[in-house]
A and B are shown apart, each in its own frame.
Chain A
Amino acid sequence: MHFIPKLFAKNELIVAFLVVGLIMFISVLVSKHLLRNKIPGAAVAITMGLILAYFGGKKGIADFPLFAGMAFLGGSMMRDFSIVSTAMGASLSEIKKTGWVGILSLFIGIAVAFFVGGSIGYAMGYRDIKTVATIGAGACTFIVGPVTGAALGASSDIIAISIAIGVIKTVVVTILTPLIAKRIGLDNPQTAMIYGGLIGTTSGVAAGLAATDPKLVPYGALTATFYTGLACMLCPSLCYFILSLFI
């Protein structure tokens, strides 16, 4: 039987297809029979993925050699490629209809995350401006936090916290979106674009919309993909400067 682990390791991507297929299958059953279709199968599957990730380490479940292929299937190349492919179903006129509010939502989303995140950090006892800025940047996405922290010269434990903040944001967005979508009117392309701009975490936005209504994915993802790049430019510069007027 010693050849089995080797066989799995050699065909890691194929094993990942099988694993995800099984997760999806179980999730659809759970959604149908235990949750009476209240929470869509995709949302259950994504949450199940997060729970499985907890048992792993830095790369979640992919830290186990048996599931190494999950890191490739769920890596940035496959994620970005499949996100771009969803654009085939998007309509240009719907995007134009959102207009400048879509761009405004990006700036408001970054500013609110940065200053509210930073203020909470300040209230919880972090008084150093570089630390406050790094915490605020972490509230944007888990990429903006470390980029800002590195640019400002924050300590590594603060950078770790900023990554944790960003990951928690992704988890919260993933789970919460399908649950409150109706209440916030998230059922049309325009609101999906505003949602993508305000929330910004591409993985969270994409996963949350996939669980809510797959038709909305391209619209939310479109604005969200500009968020991280814009925030990486604004947080260590303009936002930091404004923050320095207060601390």
Chain B
Amino acid sequence: MKIYGVAVLSACFIAGQLIGEALGILFHFDGNIGGVGFGMLLLIVLGDWIKKKKWLDAESESGIHFWSGMYIPVVIAMSATQNVKAALSGGWVALVVGVFATLLCFSLIPLLSKLQKKTDSTGSSL
């Protein structure tokens, strides 16, 4: 049943959020630290394990796939509800800082990517 897949997804999501909140309290930070990331890691590990054990059939798994298919529509709704007016009314400082700092980060991607390939080929990956 599809709801089994959705329930597994929900369990991973909530467990991840709990870990994120706990880390926030631990580091005295008012908020959630990496809750989504922990949820994803849980789903990757748990999903793999459940698949091997054959506890979720394809029908149940399609409950998870439905939500990953809804991901782009959710992002479209998200971009339509951003405060774009405020972003543009922040003046020149906001525009210059926002654009230049971002471009610089982009330019570092190939550099780090090269570093990753180097360490990967020498076999020192985690």
Bound complex: CA of A99 vs CA of B104, how far in Å? Answer: 23
Contact between A117 and B79, CB atoms less than 8 A apart: no
Tell me the bound Cα distance from A214 to B23 in angstroms. Answer: 30
- Across the interface, do A171 and B97 meet the contact criterion of CB distance under 8 Å? no
- Of the candidates B93, B98, B116, the one whose C-beta lies within 8 Å of that of A99 is B116
Q: Among the interface residues A17, A83, A226, which one has the most CB atoms of the partner chain B within 10 A?
A: A83
Q: Does A133 count as interface, using CB distance less than 8 angstroms?
A: no
A210 to chain B, nearest CB (A): 5
Is A2 an interface residue when CB atoms closer than 8 A count as contact?
no
Determine if A169 is an interface residue (Cβ-Cβ < 8 Å). Answer: yes
Q: What residues on B are CB-neighbors of A105 within 8 Å?
A: 112
A31-39, A185-193, A239-247 - the one binding chain B? A185-193
Asked if A194 and B83 make an inter-chain contact with CB atoms under 8 angstroms apart, the answer reads no
28 A-B contacts (beta carbon < 8 Å): A20-B73, A21-B73, A46-B75, A49-B80, A53-B80, A74-B80, A84-B43, A85-B9, A86-B68, A87-B43, A92-B45, A99-B124, A101-B112, A101-B116, A120-B101, A121-B97, A124-B96, A135-B97, A165-B94, A168-B90, A168-B94, A174-B79, A180-B106, A206-B71, A207-B75, A221-B40, A225-B37, A233-B33
Residues of A within 8 A of B (CB): 16-17, 19-21, 23-24, 42, 45-54, 56-62, 67, 70-71, 73-75, 78-92, 95-102, 104-105, 108-109, 112-113, 116-117, 120-121, 124, 126, 135, 138-139, 147, 160-161, 163-174, 176, 180, 184-186, 190-191, 194-195, 198-200, 202-203, 206-207, 210, 214, 217-218, 221-223, 225-226, 229-230, 232-233
